[in-house]
Amino acid sequence: MILPALCASYRSYDRVQVNTSLMNAFKQKMHWKKYNRELADRGSLTVYLGDDLASKWASNNGAAADRGRPEVYPDHVILLGLVLQQVYRLPLRQTVGLMRSVLKLSGVALPVPDSSTLSRRRRHLVLPHWPKSGRCVVIDSTGLQIRGPNTWLTTVHGRKRRTHRKIHLGVDPDPSLIVAGLVTPCQTHDSEAFDPLLATAELPAGHEVIGDGAYDRRCCYAYASKRRLRLVTPPRSRAVIHLQPDLTDRNRAIRAVRSLGTPEWKRTQHYARRSLAEAAMHRLKAAFGAGLRSRLWPNQQKEALLRAHILNSWNTPKRIPSD
């Protein structure tokens, strides 16, 4: 009884046109041996500090004419401490001890910023620009806890509502690089963060943006049309056709879903690439944890985006051609 059912299910897929290039890429083997070595290297304490460390460690803003106390440490020293904190999941005070150990092992006697300096300077930290994207970007969001593991106590006793922060990411599916990032409060809907998220990335006209059903809003299609981008998102079950010029792509998707069905439409649009955004969210939380250590809103933004930049510097498992 099982064999005829399987044969019938196979015959039902005879009409599906499979993209041979995607199937060949899927059949390629993962280079797990090389990836395992890279995972082991992430735990290494080797830190390249460069030549002439003493001159780089001193700030050049001591003689500045700005008001207030001059900065003692330059920005790249603060960035070094914050990167070490995120990589090894340390509180700020333990991060100070780690920086002292690194300098001691390198044979250099230099002062180290204390935990208050790292916390205060975090909000003014200038992060690097996002890398340029390819022809397609997949977007999604996830939540980051901000009040520690005992948040349920406040929910049970009713003192404060449990809250979190949302990080919105845009991922280039080919190299699995994060090319856009934005941190918002938990009350912000994904469609409201669509245009600010695209503003953080370098997306030339004609690029394709893939998102889930949360981005099936007329405002999202209007933002995509203004930037001359093509938004690919599954329309709702009761979606209707509108005559506005900004909704041309949405009307085309509604007609295709009505004629082909949602599963077949997703196959024709290669909608499965959107899962790479969820994979990036998983890698982010697996590497740095599901919560933020900072308590202030500007520091929480910088901490979450710094994690995404560090994730870009790590290699992802690559596929190699099968024999």
Q: What is the pLDDT of residue 156?
A: 67
- Average pLDDT of the residues in 8-21: 39
Please give the Cα distance from 254 to 234 (Å, whole number).
8
Residues of 155-171 as b/e, b for ≥16 C-beta within 10 angstroms? eeeeeeeeebbbbbbbb
pLDDT tens string 166-213: 999 999 988 889 999 999 999 999 999 999 999 999 888 888 999 999
164 and 291, same structural domain? Answer: yes
- Average pLDDT of the residues in 62-67: 56
Residue 156: give its domain's CATH number: 3.30.420.10
Answer yes or no: is 205 within a domain: yes
Percent of the chain with pLDDT over 70: 80
87 and 195, same structural domain? Answer: no
275 and 209, same structural domain? Answer: yes
164 and 70, same structural domain? Answer: no
250 and 107, same structural domain? Answer: no
167 and 85, same structural domain? Answer: no
Least confident of 50-64, 84-98, 99-113, 211-225: 50-64
Answer yes or no: is 52 within a domain: yes
Answer yes or no: is 5 within a domain: no
Q: Which long-range contacts (CB under 8 A, 24 or more apart) does 32-37 make?
A: 32/317, 34/318, 35/315, 35/316, 35/317, 35/318
Instruction: With a cut of 90, say whether residue 35 has pLDDT above it.
Output: no
160 and 88, same structural domain? Answer: no
- Average pLDDT of the residues in 105-114: 88
Q: What is the pLDDT of residue 162?
A: 65
Name which residue leads in pLDDT, 287 or 14: 287
Containing 265, the helix (H) or strand (E) segment is: helix 262-268
For the entire predicted model, the pTM comes to 0.82
Domain end residue (candidates: 122, 148, 173) = 122
Beta carbons within 8 Å of 296's beta carbon, 6+ residues apart: 123
pLDDT tens string 264-322: 999 999 999 999 999 999 999 999 999 999 989 999 999 999 999 999 998 776 655 54
Least confident of 3-12, 52-61, 223-232: 3-12
Answer yes or no: is 66 within a domain: yes
Q: What is the pLDDT of residue 12?
A: 37
Please give the Cα distance from 253 to 251 (Å, whole number).
5
Residues 290 and 152: beta-carbon distance below 8 Å: no
Least confident of 76-85, 98-107, 301-310: 98-107
The number of angstroms, rounded, from the C-alpha of 166 to the middle of its chain's C-alpha atoms is 11
pLDDT tens string 145-174: 886 555 666 666 655 666 789 999 999 988
- Average pLDDT of the residues in 18-35: 56
Pairing of strands 29-30, 319-320: antiparallel
Least confident of 115-124, 254-263, 313-322: 313-322
Domain end residue (candidates: 96, 122, 148) = 122
113 and 194, same structural domain? Answer: no
Q: Which domain holds residue 106?
A: 41-122
Beta carbons within 8 Å of 222's beta carbon, 6+ residues apart: 246
pLDDT tens string 234-254: 998 888 888 888 888 899 999
Answer yes or no: is 195 within a domain: yes
Beta carbons within 8 Å of 287's beta carbon, 6+ residues apart: 307, 310, 311, 314
Answer yes or no: is 318 within a domain: no
Answer yes or no: is 128 within a domain: no
64 and 173, same structural domain? Answer: no
Residue type, 178: I
140 and 248, same structural domain? Answer: yes
Q: What is the pLDDT of residue 161?
A: 61
Beta carbons within 8 Å of 132's beta carbon, 6+ residues apart: 179, 202
106 and 187, same structural domain? Answer: no
Name which residue leads in pLDDT, 43 or 11: 43
pLDDT band at 29 (very low <50, low <70, confident <90, very high): low
Q: How many domains does the chain have?
A: 2
213 and 99, same structural domain? Answer: no
Task: Identify which of 273, 275, 319, 271 has the alpha carbon closest to the alpha carbon of residue 25.
Answer: 319
Domain end residue (candidates: 122, 146, 164) = 122
Mean pLDDT of the chain: 82
Percent of the chain with pLDDT over 90: 53
Residue type, 308: A
Please give the Cα distance from 104 to 111 (Å, whole number).
11
Task: Identify which of 200, 192, 240 has the alpha carbon closest to the alpha carbon of residue 220.
Answer: 192
Answer yes or no: is 15 within a domain: no
